[in-house]
Amino acid sequence: MLSEVLLVSAPGKVILHGEHAVVHGKVALAVALNLRTFLRLEPHSNGKVDLSLPNIGIKRAWDVAGLQSLDTSFLEQGDVTTPTPEQVEKLKDVAGLPDDCAVTERLAVLAFLYLYLSICQKQRWTREDLELINKWAFQGERVIHGNPSGVDNAVSTWGGALRYHQGKISSLKRSPALQILLTNTKVPRNTRALVAGVRNRLLKFPEIVAPLLTSIDAISLECERVLGEMGEAPAPEQYLVLEELIDMNQHHLNALGVGHASLDQLCQVTRARGLHSKLTGAGGGGCGITLLKPGLEQPEVEATKQALTSCGFDCLETSIGAPGVSIHSATSLDSRVQQALDGL
């Protein structure tokens, strides 16, 4: 039973290297992004469970007694189970969402209800607890995505950097935290179409595209090696290698046909300031990352952010290699985070 306010956060995720090549059996590196989602659990005595997701405009409440009356035979203690279509349909009835509710909002509420009914929250997390969190987060991903890779939930749980290869996920042991700019070009993309485009190009030009995929694989492996050597005391020459890998990977992704004029513009703006950028994710627009070297003066960073904003992009300064899911005390939170939580 929760007796006091519990504050929890989890990082986001970006792909550092290996986009698209991972679909064809190559290595990808995913890193935890220190733009965090915060959760505040607060006990109430009104007999209701209240859910507030301000970023997507969700505010719902359910009677605890009504939730407890559901058929929860699938909720074996400590047993992580995949939600069945019948259970999801039952949750839709419980959710009570209007027919015109957006798909993202509907899936978020269904994932919350499924996990709420399935998990007993703990205040202290052992490694076994984290493994359980990761497994349940994967089931939440299944509610939303159907057949996820498992990378998103693993990165958010464990943090740092992960290696993904042919369905196997492993943590990089000594991944440093790296400062980056995350830039959203605000150009929408169709991931499925982009993945299909690479596949078609591979079928059409196998002797050209297959070596590109092999080269992207080598870039991921070299980056993994360098990150492992950087540890707690990275050297300037190691950052130079990371910058070269970023440039090479971006050129390879353009050759695969997943670039976009907006991403080219992003790279040009940062290159003019001595910085190195690449797309992250599916490409075709979307987001890009820019590596910030140690010693870069803050006015230079701000000028770069302003230049990117002037292009119509959204730009955030953050870090990768962030901690995974974490419990916080209220006094440890950034004032802006605290203000946002207080406004719920």
Structure tokens given for 41: 């659990």
- Give CA–CA dist 238/243, Å, rounded: 9
For the chain, the straight-line distance linking the first and the last C-alpha, in angstroms and rounded, comes to 22
Structure tokens given for 120: 């007993």
Q: Alpha carbon of 74 to those of 68, 114, 117, 196, 324: distances in Å?
A: 13, 11, 10, 37, 28
> Which regions of the chain does DSSP assign to beta strands (E)?
6-17, 28-41, 48-53, 58-63, 161-165, 168-171, 178-184, 276-280, 287-291, 314-320, 326-328
- Give CA–CA dist 103/122, Å, rounded: 31
- Spot the catalytic one: 63, 71, 99, 152: 152
CA torsion through residues 281, 287, 293, 295, sign = negative
Contact 28, 224 (CB under 8 A): no
Spatial CB neighbours of 50, under 8 Å, sequence gap ≥ 6: 44, 59, 60, 61
334 catalytic? Reply is no
Positions annotated as catalytic residues are 152
